[in-house]
Amino acid sequence: MTSPEPSPDAKTDAPGSPSAPARIAADLVITHCTALVHDEHEQIGFVEDATVVVREGRIQALTTGPVDLPAAERIDARGQVAMPGLVNCHTHTPMVTLRGIAEDLPVEQWFNDVVWPIESNLQDRDVELGARLACAELIRGGVTCFADHYFSMDTVAAVTAESGLRANLGQAFFSSQGAEGRERSLDFALRHRDTAGGRITTSLAPHAPYTVDDADLAATARSAQEHGLPVHLHAAENRDQSDTSLARHGRTPIEVLAGAGLLDTDLLIAHGTGIMERDLPVLARARGRVAVASAPRGYLRFAWPTTTPVQALRELGIPVGLATDGAASNNSLDVWESMALTALTQKFTGADPRRLTSRQALHHATLQSARAVGLGERIGSLAPGRAADIILVDLTGPHTQPVHDLAATLVHSVRAGDVRTTIVDGRILMRDRELLTLDVPSVVQEMNERMPALIDRSHGRRIQDYDT
Amino acid sequence: MTSPEPSPDAKTDAPGSPSAPARIAADLVITHCTALVHDEHEQIGFVEDATVVVREGRIQALTTGPVDLPAAERIDARGQVAMPGLVNCHTHTPMVTLRGIAEDLPVEQWFNDVVWPIESNLQDRDVELGARLACAELIRGGVTCFADHYFSMDTVAAVTAESGLRANLGQAFFSSQGAEGRERSLDFALRHRDTAGGRITTSLAPHAPYTVDDADLAATARSAQEHGLPVHLHAAENRDQSDTSLARHGRTPIEVLAGAGLLDTDLLIAHGTGIMERDLPVLARARGRVAVASAPRGYLRFAWPTTTPVQALRELGIPVGLATDGAASNNSLDVWESMALTALTQKFTGADPRRLTSRQALHHATLQSARAVGLGERIGSLAPGRAADIILVDLTGPHTQPVHDLAATLVHSVRAGDVRTTIVDGRILMRDRELLTLDVPSVVQEMNERMPALIDRSHGRRIQDYDT
């Protein structure tokens, strides 16, 4: 283990010494857990009987055995695994409001007949309630950071701040909104970046190459360079989109991004199941930090013929983060399920049961997801100096025993409901399954009161057409 | 609704009348739930503010609104769905002991290098502890009945009786055991059938056509006919097995079963992902009650090229029940996950997002699973006269709100951990997540003590070879 122990000062200073506490007391000490760590080659390992010391929002030390250190708060995490909080690398949090409303449909009907007509009714208050419910679900499922791409993002930013979660937020736009859409996305990104004590970062958020034209994509790339902002968009979501792009423009969606200069920015591509063989050298030449977010449940649900080409992307050194997309297509914001399904679908579509081992899945869930959302140096590992975004996962349930291979247990047996405690920047957001920053029943009640107006489609409007 | 109300007698007799309680008091009344019911065409519907009255282990009535009836026990199930307990139609409960021990391997290595060598060490006590842990997991996950196919089944029967669960049990055998294997399977089936107050039924349990020869399969069919016993076996598990069977014997595994007379018995076929086009008319001619159990997680994990052909089987009227297989290949006994994955993989492999709707998935989870284990008249529906095998599922968690389509919520958003209460034959086995018949920590402790001896493979033995 490379983790330093607490400094000798910290270990020898007596608790309660009059001048000491402000200097040496930890904010939080977690004891008796098994800690998931990364070695210097980023291989995943586990430290038994670990103690995690948190001070000023960061991990100060990860050591073994007892630590004689005063602490404002202590958690005895016997029988639990401490691991980096999960990251949901692509979602639309307010869409939890539409969970289950458009089932068993192809994606074009899902968009055109249900989701986009309803979204033309969206009010800020709907977004606020949806974001609040989503944050509750994320915290309960051990997600400490999410990348959100939606509308009314000032509202989502306010809810994020209130919830205590970390997020990368982007105000989505279409070219059909004119220059105003793109400008609002930039304005949002500049106003909110590094707010909420640094927990909120921002991205420019064009919707997709099939809804944002080349000129707007190029202008987005220029804004990103000028302001040092990342870009988060949907691209090559499925094979149909790539085929249509080739037929219409002679270029794949990835080639469109390259032509617009977006591969020279820090770019997060959602889905990428339509990434083609010819796109791989294009991605290899990218000068920006390019990453892909994979949300495999939706690909199965929509019966898309391919999934994110994780192995090919790994060979290019492109991080693939785990995601759920919105709950209107995924039915939950359960990143544990995304992790398991990523492993299972990679094995199945690659016709190779050795593909995507549990340790690789955990690498996607930790460092790769952190990099995908531009926080590769701040989160994703329980290493001293990193943000104290920590979850405690209970392994005492019969469904997680016995443990022969803890990585396999975490990927294939643990369920979101096994997360007992969720911590962001050292602050406890859920303790023993109790949410400390959000009140679910009041949100659900008001959401249901507003629902008839929200889901009314009699007007015949939609915010956009799905026509790739 | 076709469900009769409680009889007028029951409604008008005053509680506490000296002679009345033994005659009229219900054993259990569940109030204020939403109940999943089937109409006369087996379409799934939901009854709001339902009351379920249980007496002598059976559902006496399902009605709406308050019921003024004395009851030994009442459960206020506000915010919860009452539905038939799930059925795990094919598992090997004691294999939870090997959960996670053989990951990321092709099926032949999984069997030959790990599972079958370890199983040559199995002692009754290992089976007992495994079965106990499995029953705890099943009860916690809302499973009220399972079909088990393993060794040392006297022990599994004893644990089943103790746990309070319902099960169909079969003592597995290979032809390599000589006539003794088949005889033990029959002896077990006859001794245990209709024991544990009728909660235990039995099957003959040849392992599979690739490990049991034609003569033993034919003898099994004759025993089944003679004694009125069903048969439970693995067959056409994957496409490789079907191809090999064709190459070696000129017959598919299903044709082998037909030739042995097994399609004229009540037959439960595990997996069937290798069922071929030419098998469909053979299955259509079956004179017995033939059913298939599908455990899709394992098919993804082993990267098998096909999944159970649910739609083709539906067209033949063959029930497809949900299953997990053993936890050594499935990592859990989570039938909720099997239900969701059945829906998702049918959409994906059928290239049609309309395939296997949520209501169809719930039909598989209820009546079809009940039929698959030979209990189509006793369980699978909350109808008066049926066994009171009931689970209460909490919908107040943020991940299950709001509810636009309760069927979709149950199939795609609910998790096993949302089951609050599990009831079999009217007896509460778990109340508010607390297990009432099993003690998990003591089981896990002894299991871990015994583990080194169990998993030792230095002897080089295995109980059987995987060579289809």
Tell me which residue in A301, A353, A358 faces B106 most closely, judged by beta carbons: A353
Which chain B residues are Cβ-neighbours of A134 within 8 angstroms?
A: 398
Q: Which two structure tokens, joined as six digits, stand for B442?
A: 């003591």
Quickly count: other Cβ atoms within 10 Å of residue B183's Cβ: 14
For tokens 């392994």, the residue is A395
Q: How far is CA B120 from CA A160, B32, B112, B115, in A?
A: 55, 51, 11, 9
Determine the Cα–Cα distance for residues A52 and A74; give it in Å rounded to an integer.
Answer: 10
Amino acid code (one letter) for B176? S
Q: Identify the pLDDT of residue B232.
A: 98
Q: Which two structure tokens, joined as six digits, stand for B435?
A: 């297990």
Which chain A residues are Cβ-neighbours of B103 within 8 angstroms?
A: 357-358, 405, 408, 412
Q: Identify the pLDDT of residue A16.
A: 35
Q: How far is CA A201 from CA A192, A283, A291, in A?
A: 7, 25, 16
Treating both helix axes as pointing N-terminal to C-terminal, what angle do A124-140 and A440-455 enclose, rounded to 10 degrees? 140
For tokens 């919707």, the residue is A207
Q: Does the beta-carbon distance from B401 to A353 stay under 8 Å?
A: no
Task: Taking residues B142-147, report their average pLDDT.
Answer: 98
Q: Identify the pLDDT of residue B24.
A: 78
Q: Does the beta-carbon distance from B100 to A405 stay under 8 Å?
A: yes
Q: Identify the pLDDT of residue A422.
A: 99
Tell me which residue in B101, B104, B440 faces A353 most closely, judged by beta carbons: B104
Nearest-Å Rg of the Cα atoms of chain A is: 22
Q: How far is CA B172 from CA B210, B220, B253, in A?
A: 14, 12, 18
Determine the Cα–Cα distance for residues A416 and A426; give it in Å rounded to an integer.
Answer: 21
Amino acid code (one letter) for A380? G
Is the previous residue joined to A117 through a cis bond, with omega within 30 degrees of 0? no
CB pairs below 8 Å between A and B: how many? 187
Q: Does the beta-carbon distance from A344 to B300 stay under 8 Å?
A: yes
Which chain A residues are Cβ-neighbours of B91 within 8 angstroms?
A: none
Residue to test with chain B: of A88, A91, A104, most B Cβ within 10 A: A104
Burial class (CB in 10 A: 0-12, 13-18, 19+), B167: buried
Percent of chain B with pLDDT over 70: 95
Q: Identify the pLDDT of residue A175.
A: 97
Nearest CA of chain A to the CA of B58: how many Å?
29
Q: Identify the pLDDT of residue B19.
A: 37
pLDDT at B282 over 70: yes
| A-chain residue closest to B361, CA distance | A104
DSSP A172-229: EE-GGGTHHHHHHHHHHHHHHTTBTTTTEEEEEEE--TTTS-HHHHHHHHHHHHHHT-
CA A327 to chain centre: 13
Nearest CA of chain A to the CA of B410: how many Å?
10
Q: Where are the beta strands (DSSP E) in A367-451?
A: 390-394, 419-424, 427-431, 434-435
Determine the Cα–Cα distance for residues A44 and B332; give it in Å rounded to an integer.
Answer: 23
Q: Does the beta-carbon distance from A100 to B403 stay under 8 Å?
A: yes
Q: Checking DSSP bridges between strand A434-435 and strand A427-431, what pairing results, if any? A: antiparallel
Q: Which two structure tokens, joined as six digits, stand for B455?
A: 């998993």
CA dihedral B251, B256, B258, B260 (to 10 degrees): 140
CA dihedral B16, B22, B25, B30 (to 10 degrees): 130
| Domain definitions of chain B by residue range | 8-84+384-435, 86-372
pLDDT at B8 over 50: no
Nearest CA of chain A to the CA of B420: how many Å?
13
Q: How far is CA A358 from CA A166, A355, A402, A405, A420, in A?
A: 26, 9, 17, 9, 22
Quickly count: other Cβ atoms within 10 Å of residue B215's Cβ: 12
For tokens 């149909």, the residue is A240
Q: Identify the pLDDT of residue B68.
A: 84
Quickly count: other Cβ atoms within 10 Å of residue A145's Cβ: 28
pLDDT at B16 over 60: no
For tokens 């089943």, the residue is B160
Lowest mean pLDDT among A11-25, B161-175, B406-420: A11-25
Q: Does the beta-carbon distance from B333 to A413 stay under 8 Å?
A: no
Cα atoms in the 13 Å half-sphere on the side-chain side of B283: 27
pLDDT at B4 over 50: no
Nearest CA of chain A to the CA of B208: how many Å?
23
- Domain B86-372 top-level CATH class: alpha beta
Contact between residue A78 and residue A396 where contact means Cβ atoms under 8 Å apart: no
Burial per residue of A202-235, b for 16 or more beta-carbon CB atoms within 10 angstroms, e otherwise: bbbbbbbbbbbbeebbebbbebbeeeebbbbbbb
CA-closest candidate to residue B269, choices B112, B365, B356, B147: B147
The pTM assigned to this predicted structure is 0.95
For tokens 């409604």, the residue is B11
Q: Does the beta-carbon distance from A398 to B137 stay under 8 Å?
A: yes
Q: Identify the pLDDT of residue A17.
A: 37
Nearest CA of chain B to the CA of A306: how many Å?
9
**pLDDT category, B396, cuts 50, 70, 90?**
very high
Q: Does the beta-carbon distance from B398 to A354 stay under 8 Å?
A: no
Q: Which two structure tokens, joined as six digits, stand for B422?
A: 């599990």
CA-closest candidate to residue B283, choices B322, B256, B307: B256
Write the CB contacts of B271 (distance below 8 Å, at least 6 apart in sequence): B90, B234, B235, B236, B237, B238, B292, B293, B294, B295, B299, B308, B325
Q: Which residues pair with B376 in a beta bridge?
A: none
Q: Identify the pLDDT of residue B96.
A: 98
Cα atoms in the 13 Å half-sphere on the side-chain side of A277: 0
Q: Which two structure tokens, joined as six digits, stand for B104?
A: 């990321």
Helix (H) or strand (E) holding A63: strand A58-64
Q: What are phi and psi of B131, to 5 degrees?
A: -60, -40
Q: Which residues pair with A393 in a beta bridge?
A: A81, A419
Task: Taking residues B165-179, report their average pLDDT.
Answer: 97
Quickly count: other Cβ atoms within 10 Å of residue A306's Cβ: 17
What superfamily does domain B8-84+384-435 belong to in CATH? Answer: Urease, subunit C, domain 1 (2.30.40.10)
pLDDT at B22 over 70: no
SS3 letters for chain B? CCCCCCCHHHHHCCCCCCCCHHHHCECEEEEEEEEEEECCCCCEEEEEEEEEEEECCEEEEEEECCCCCCECCEEECCCEEEEECEEEEEECHHHHHHCCCCCCCCHHHHHHHHHHHHHCCCCHHHHHHHHHHHHHHHHHCCEEEEEEEECCHHHHHHHHHHHCCEEEEEEEECHHHCHHHHHHHHHHHHHHCCECCCCEEEEEEECCCCCCCHHHHHHHHHHHHHHCCCEEEEECCCHHHHHHHHHHHCCCHHHHHHHCCHHHCCEEEEECCCCCCCHHHHHHCCCCCEEEEECHHHHHHCCCCCCCCHHHHHHCCCCEEECCCCHHHHCCCCHHHHHHHHHHHHHHHCCCCCCCCHHHHHHHHHHHHHHHCCCCCCCCCCCCCCECCEEEEECCCHHHCCCCCHHHHHHHHCCHHHEEEEEECCEEEEECCEECCCCHHHHHHHHHHHHHHHHCCCCCCCCCCCCC
For tokens 């196919």, the residue is B149
Quickly count: other Cβ atoms within 10 Å of residue B281's Cβ: 9
Determine the Cα–Cα distance for residues B262 and B249; give it in Å rounded to an integer.
Answer: 17
Tens digit of pLDDT at every position of chain A (468 positions)? 333 333 333 333 333 333 333 457 999 999 999 999 999 999 999 999 999 999 999 999 999 987 888 999 999 999 999 999 999 999 999 999 999 999 999 999 999 999 999 999 999 999 999 999 999 999 999 999 999 999 999 999 999 999 999 999 999 999 999 999 999 999 999 999 999 999 999 999 999 999 999 999 999 999 999 999 999 999 999 999 999 999 999 999 999 999 999 999 999 999 999 999 999 999 999 999 999 999 999 999 999 999 999 999 999 999 999 999 999 999 999 999 999 999 999 999 999 999 999 999 999 999 999 999 999 999 999 999 999 999 999 999 999 999 999 999 999 999 999 999 999 999 999 999 999 999 999 999 999 999 999 999 999 999 988 887
CA-closest candidate to residue A172, choices A210, A141, A206: A206
CA B439 to chain centre: 22
Task: Taking residues B367-379, report their average pLDDT.
Answer: 98
Which chain B residues are Cβ-neighbours of A301 within 8 angstroms?
A: 344, 347, 353
Q: Identify the pLDDT of residue A59.
A: 98
**pLDDT category, B170, cuts 50, 70, 90?**
very high
Determine the Cα–Cα distance for residues A93 and A150; give it in Å rounded to an integer.
Answer: 8
List, for residues B326-341, the tens digit of each pLDDT value: 999 999 999 999 999 9
Q: Does the beta-carbon distance from B408 to A297 stay under 8 Å?
A: no
Q: Does the beta-carbon distance from B402 to A448 stay under 8 Å?
A: yes
Q: Tally the residues of chain B.
A: 468
Q: Is A62 helix (H, G, I), strand (E, B) or coil?
A: strand
Write the CB contacts of B382 (distance below 8 Å, at least 6 apart in sequence): B35, B36, B37, B52, B59, B62, B82, B83, B84, B390
Write the CB contacts of A464 (distance below 8 Å, at least 6 apart in sequence): A111, A116, A174, A176, A207, A211
Q: Identify the pLDDT of residue B67.
A: 83
Amino acid code (one letter) for A200? I
Q: Identify the pLDDT of residue B318.
A: 98
Q: Which residues pair with A268 in a beta bridge?
A: A232, A291
